[in-house]
A and B are shown apart, each in its own frame.
Chain A
Amino acid sequence: MSLFSKVKSPAAFLRALVKSPWRELAQRYACWTRVGTVAAALALVLATPFALRPRSRPARVPAANTLVILSPHNDTIRTEIARGFADHMMRTAGKPVRIDWRDVGGTTEISKFISSSFQSAFQLYWRRHLKKGWQGRLSNPGQSVLQKGIPDESPEDDTQEQQARRTFLASNVGIGIDLFFGGGSSDFIRHAAYGHLVDSGIFEREPSWFSEKVIPESFSGETLYDPGKRWVGSCLSSFGICYNTDWIKRLDHPPPQRWEDLGDPVYLNALALADPTKSGSTTKAFEMILQEQLSAAFAEVDRVGVVNVGSLESNALDKGWTAGLNLIQRISANARYFTDTAAKIPFDVAQGNAAAGMSIDFYGRAINEAVRKADGTSRVQFVIPVAGTSVGADPVAMLRGAPRPELAQDFIHFLLAPEGQRLWHYRAGVPGGPAQSALRRMPIRQDLYTPEELEKSADPELNPYVQSRDFQYHPEWTNPHFNVIRFIIQVMCMETHEELKQAWAALIRAGFPPHASRIFFDVKLVGYTNVTRELTPKLMTDDPLAIQKRRRDLRESFRKNYLLAIEFANRGE
């Protein structure tokens, strides 16, 4: 009322409008307007994902048709494989299936998770089901096999551990998960040895698949399926070098083509490396660096001519091994970091945080495509190092006590059949290929590398069975020392990384004076003779305290060497 009685001019009306009664009202309900404002703001933020949520709700699938898979595979792979498998089952068996992907982080977390889950599941089985007692701490029936030995033929004289182990291997103790899918074959080899993995029956169902023509048992020295039938590779992967073309241009240096190029001082503080202590496939890549140098040393011996076979061979082994370790030293000294996140390296290279790095093939190729410009050029290139790589299998396996063994076998069957294999390498949208994005991985079946198949591949020029054939992998040189390689890199490069980098920089500054270089590259303590005689056998049998002491002693002597090298380099000696 008061508002209208005072109207004399439009301006006055506006003034009055602003003045009363709204203001009064606003003040009276100030508290509620505040609540309203905050609630509206929060609702707005929450509404965005609500508005954008996927429209199609997944169909309800009974638990019996839900396959539980523990996997470190990325979301892209999971989505495509799950869709492919569901379509396949609907078409062939007429039943809806769903995959319940479980994830506990990376491969190491998954490994720990499997081991500890089996341990407690077995303890429960032992105490509740078998109603047996135990003296001391009930050990893990899986892992204890490596320490206490496999039970012998006669069950009568079993120790407590052997009895547990025998019981475990005969049991169907499970952890509620059907399959373990993805990761390096070394994890699968380990869990198979523990008894956590079992034969899924796929080898009996499709014996013709496991032949030289389709899936060979091994290729370029790498095992592609378990001779004990407990795991089988589903695709192949390899390590390569990815590099940033702008950075390489800036360095005024030819792009890296082989591992050796990465040891060049121009890459000081510019490399991104993967951490061999966290994954078997990374250790494999470092093993390849050694293999390449060993091959070179043997070629050198061959060139000089054979005088006394025995001594020459050990000579070549010593030389090649030392050259390989020195190369690993140089590459590590150039490194900014060692990471266990596979996707981090190509990404850092793409964003110009590193000049080059070690990368798993499909991550490298995916980033190359992701930053490709309209004119077809890309600032990230991925190369498979010349004569320095082998391919490894990325396996799938059924876990002991899988709740849905038939469905699990169906999944493995689908994955290894041409239909499932095509998902790995076909371009997105091609009939029979992935629906949304290409996975850029290499199928394990050789019969998928025919010209007709490769035509639809996202990487048509890629055929590991041809490209890696020439690479002669000599498992006898390095394979027995696989764990020792990891151990050496740890003490020689990772735990002493600060001193290593400083010494390397000092050497470069001083122009590699001879005395300092000799100290820096002195790896006699972990030379081939020492490794075969001392380290490899001792690391298998020593207790953790002794291993730790060895590790500390070696690390300290490397650290001392590096510090000494800095001192000499600074004096120019």
Chain B
Amino acid sequence: MNPVLKYLRDVNVTLLVFIAMLAFFAAFLALPILKTIQEAFLVDGQFTFKYVGDVVQDLSYAQGLWNALLLATFSTILAITLALPLAVLGDRYEFPFKPVLTTLLLVPLVLPPFVGAIGVKQILGQSGSLNVFLSWFGLVDMNQPVDWLGKWRFAGMVLMTGLHLYPIVFLNVSAALANLDPSLEEAAENLGCSPGKRFRLITLPMTLPGIFAGGTIAFIWGFTELGVPLIFDFTRITSVQIFDGIKDLGASPYPYALVAVVLAITSSLFLACKGLMGNMDLSSSGRTTIGRTTKNLAGWKKWCAVAAFLFVIVIALVPHCGVILFSMSKDWYLTVLPESLTLSHFEEALGHVLTLPSIANSLKYAGLATILNLVLGIAIAYVVVRTTIPGRHVLDAIAMLPLAVPGLVLAFGYLAMTREGEMFRWIVDNPLIQADNPVFLLIIAYAVRRLPYIVRSAVVGFQQTSRSLEEAALNLGAGPLTTLRRITVPLIAAHLIAGAILAFAFSMLEVSDSLILAQKQIFFPITTAIYTLYGSLGTGPFLAAALGVWAMIFLAVAIVGAGYLLGQKIGNLFRL
């Protein structure tokens, strides 16, 4: 045998994958973060923890961290409380309009940047729709309108974050439920276990990886959420303190020290939770062999199910409806609905010089980033679940960190590491592209930022599929790659699709990287185009909302279409 081939066969492939992944994170996560936050650790060129120590002792920052933790905890609980029952309902029962409802449940995910806040304020602001509507019934005096956003700020923030995040939990839990082996539940049922007990003892523990996957994303997201606190003008929260600090003219090292603290907290919380979860082997002996049947809900029960879905969807879509109505209004002020509708904003926004190229760019960047993400996600999940390499849990934790890093920090880091003379210059200056074309940089940036979704989904997929099928294939002479292609990937496809949908949608809506890295107009993605339109004098917000609505429609069609193609309805998407 060729000695090279022999050598290659002998080295541990998984170890290579592990090292490759670590190298990837070192280059595209650690390096850009360090490039940006090094100031937090340097006094006159000397390494120091002084700034970090100061940050931890500072009462304001401590309160900010505490508020961030509270927001994360409560909004995660809310997201799980909303998503879990709905996921179980959708998995177990048939009821009217189920395909439509399960699909609509995911639509709140796609709220365009910059204009989302406008949508909320048009409805919930003091002169907003809700107050005017309530005043019809004498419930609100328009001379003293209720300040919904100012009065119950924390509760409002929890509600809005939870309602934005529950689709992530829903997707993950649905995938986990669909992969459950029904024979376990049937066995319990046959042995006389009551439905409640069955759920508590069998279903819930078996779905825990899915809840954990969705819950961690929701938690870290809530912990570092920036948009919602800004809508509520809530400033004593870490994300806003970092954002404000970075943009401060004073150029203080403290926001960067705060970033370091947030990263430390996030990763230790993640590892602690993972430790609590233990090394569960949740895969059943074989994969689902018995087809699962869904039960028809009878009479009033089915309408209850419909009502539950509708209730969540309607509340979660309030900001979206606000944005849509706003984009079509000539003026919308002190009325429940806009007085007169117009499509002229769409005409102007979609006909803008920037728009069409930016759409093409976004599709290119987000699409390629998602493909890159799939490759990385499978590799990481494989190492984490299927191997015993020490340090694999650290790799898993690292893969979650992009969620917790403020967008601006990573963006400035990428900018710094690809300047002329730097080691990674070739990313923006290579024979494939003209000089200073940020296309590869943006793809990598998007991919890193959205990697956690795919990693979490893929990890659950691996956890839930038995290794024995892969082993059988390997025993029968298939190589590792063939096994991966023919056995593993098809088995975890549902999880991968769920993760890919999230990654793609959020890549299309990515803000910081887009603004900072795509400086030339010909490279603008759609978010940058929305930002530019927003600044137009007079009609800016309307134009931005119109383009935002277009992006929302496109992503909604893509999500619904993906579900329709793969399983006719997204509820069945996870049942292969």
Interface on A for B, CB 8 Å cutoff?
A: 34-35, 37-38, 41-42, 45-46, 48-50, 52-54, 58, 74-77, 100-106, 108-109, 111-113, 116-117, 120-121, 123-124, 127-128, 136-137, 176, 246, 250, 269, 275, 277-280, 336-337, 340, 343, 347-348, 350-353, 362-363, 366-367, 369-371, 379, 437, 439-440, 486, 494-495, 497-498, 543-545, 547-549, 552, 555-556, 559
Given A75-B533, A120-B416, does the pair A49, B550 have CB atoms closer than 8 Å? yes
List which B25-71 residues lie within 8 A (CB) of chain A. Answer: 42-43, 45, 50-51, 54, 58-60
Contacts of A35 in B (CB 8 A): 565
Establish whether residues A336 and B150, one from each chain, have CB atoms under 8 Å apart when the complex forms. yes
Establish whether residues B537 and A76, one from each chain, have CB atoms under 8 Å apart when the complex forms. yes
Tell me, yes or no, whether B539 is within 8 Å of chain A by CB: yes
Contacts of A106 in B (CB 8 A): 247
Stretch with Cβ within 8 A of A (4 or more), from B298-306, B308-316, B551-559 = B551-559
Q: Mark B409-444, 1 if CB is under 8 A from A, else 0.
A: 000100110011110000000000000100000000
Establish whether residues A494 and B122, one from each chain, have CB atoms under 8 Å apart when the complex forms. no
Contacts of A124 in B (CB 8 A): 419-421
Establish whether residues A545 and B416, one from each chain, have CB atoms under 8 Å apart when the complex forms. no
Knowing that A52-B355, A100-B520, A362-B537 touch, tell me 10 more A-B residue pairs with CB under 8 angstroms: A74-B540, A109-B247, A120-B420, A124-B421, A128-B421, A352-B127, A370-B539, A439-B537, A544-B51, A555-B60
CA distance A113 to B150 in the complex (A): 35
CA distance A353 to B334 in the complex (A): 11
Establish whether residues A102 and B350, one from each chain, have CB atoms under 8 Å apart when the complex forms. no
Contact residue among A352, A495, A547 (Cβ-Cβ distance under 8 Å from B60): A495
Tell me, yes or no, whether B449 is within 8 Å of chain A by CB: no
Contacts of A343 in B (CB 8 A): 534-535, 540-541
Contacts of A128 in B (CB 8 A): 421
Contacts of B253 in A (CB 8 A): 544
Contact residue among A37, A105, A494 (Cβ-Cβ distance under 8 Å from B516): A105
Contact residue among B50, B350, B558 (Cβ-Cβ distance under 8 Å from A545): B50
Establish whether residues B334 and A75, one from each chain, have CB atoms under 8 Å apart when the complex forms. no
Tell me, yes or no, whether B196 is within 8 Å of chain A by CB: no
Tell me, yes or no, whether B521 is within 8 Å of chain A by CB: yes
Q: Output the nearest chain B residue to A556 by Cβ-Cβ distance.
A: B59
Q: How far is the CB of B135 from chain A (nearest CB, A)?
A: 13
Q: How far is the CB of A359 from chain B (nearest CB, A)?
A: 13
Interface on B for A, CB 8 Å cutoff?
A: 42-43, 45, 50-51, 54, 58-60, 118, 121-122, 125-128, 142-143, 147, 150, 233, 235-236, 244, 247-254, 331-334, 346-347, 350-353, 355-356, 359, 412, 415-416, 419-422, 436, 515-516, 519-521, 528, 531-541, 550, 553-554, 557-558, 561, 564-565, 568
Q: How far is the CB of B390 from chain A (nearest CB, A)?
A: 35
Q: Output the nearest chain A residue to B248 by Cβ-Cβ distance.
A: A277
Q: How far is the CB of B278 from chain A (nearest CB, A)?
A: 41
Contacts of B150 in A (CB 8 A): 269, 336
Q: How far is the CB of B59 from chain A (nearest CB, A)?
A: 7
Q: Output the nearest chain B residue to A55 by Cβ-Cβ distance.
A: B351
Q: Output the nearest chain A residue to B534 by Cβ-Cβ distance.
A: A343
9 closest Cβ pairs, A-B complex: A352-B127, A74-B535, A38-B561, A337-B233, A52-B351, A124-B421, A370-B538, A76-B537, A49-B350
CA distance A26 to B58 in the complex (A): 68
Contact residue among A46, A108, A113, A348 (Cβ-Cβ distance under 8 Å from B554): A46
CA distance A242 to B176 in the complex (A): 54
CA distance A195 to B58 in the complex (A): 36
Q: Output the nearest chain A residue to B332 by Cβ-Cβ distance.
A: A351
Establish whether residues A367 and B347, one from each chain, have CB atoms under 8 Å apart when the complex forms. no
Establish whether residues A127 and B520, one from each chain, have CB atoms under 8 Å apart when the complex forms. no
Establish whether residues A49 and B521, one from each chain, have CB atoms under 8 Å apart when the complex forms. no
Q: Output the nearest chain B residue to A352 by Cβ-Cβ distance.
A: B127
Establish whether residues B536 and A101, one from each chain, have CB atoms under 8 Å apart when the complex forms. no
Q: Output the nearest chain B residue to A247 by Cβ-Cβ distance.
A: B127
Establish whether residues B536 and A74, one from each chain, have CB atoms under 8 Å apart when the complex forms. yes
Q: Output the nearest chain A residue to B517 by Cβ-Cβ distance.
A: A104
Establish whether residues A545 and B247, one from each chain, have CB atoms under 8 Å apart when the complex forms. no
Contact residue among A104, A176, A437 (Cβ-Cβ distance under 8 Å from B537): A437
Contact residue among A52, A103, A112, A340 (Cβ-Cβ distance under 8 Å from B532): A103
Q: Output the nearest chain A residue to B353 by Cβ-Cβ distance.
A: A54
